[in-house]
């Protein structure tokens, strides 16, 4: 069961890093992973920093869970 926790947390950390990258890198892959496009009806460049906040939270929680 511990291996499954490590896999899930590693995937969470990876997705968090991808969300952080969506703020700085504009590729077709990162555009598909944007969270602000899912949450807001009209995502623009001004809503892009939402991905940074959510990415830091997701990656941080994954790292915290692996440490704890």
Cα gap 63→50, rounded to integer Å = 20
pLDDT at 23 exceeding the cut of 80: yes
Cα gap 1→4, rounded to integer Å = 5
Residue with more model confidence, 30 or 68: 30
pTM for this prediction: 0.86
Question: In this predicted model, what pLDDT tens digit does every residue of 27-64 receive, in sequence order?
Answer: 999 888 899 888 888 888 899 999 999 999 999 999 99
* Region of 51 on the Ramachandran plot (φ > 0 left; ψ -120 to 50 alpha; else beta): alpha
Residue 56 CB-half CA count within 13 A: 5
Crossing angle for the helix pair 2-24 and 49-67, to the nearest 10 degrees: 160
Question: In this predicted model, what pLDDT tens digit does every residue of 5-21 receive, in sequence order?
Answer: 999 999 999 999 999 99
């Amino acid at each position: 069961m511990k291996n499954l926790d490590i896999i899930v947390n590693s995937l969470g950390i990876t997705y968090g890093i991808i969300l952080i990258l969506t703020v700085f890198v504009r590729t077709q892959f990162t555009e598909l992973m944007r969270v602000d496009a899912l949450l807001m009806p009209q995502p623009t460049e001004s809503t892009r920093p939402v991905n940074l906040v959510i990415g830091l939270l997701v990656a941080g929680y994954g790292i915290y869970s692996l440490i704890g």
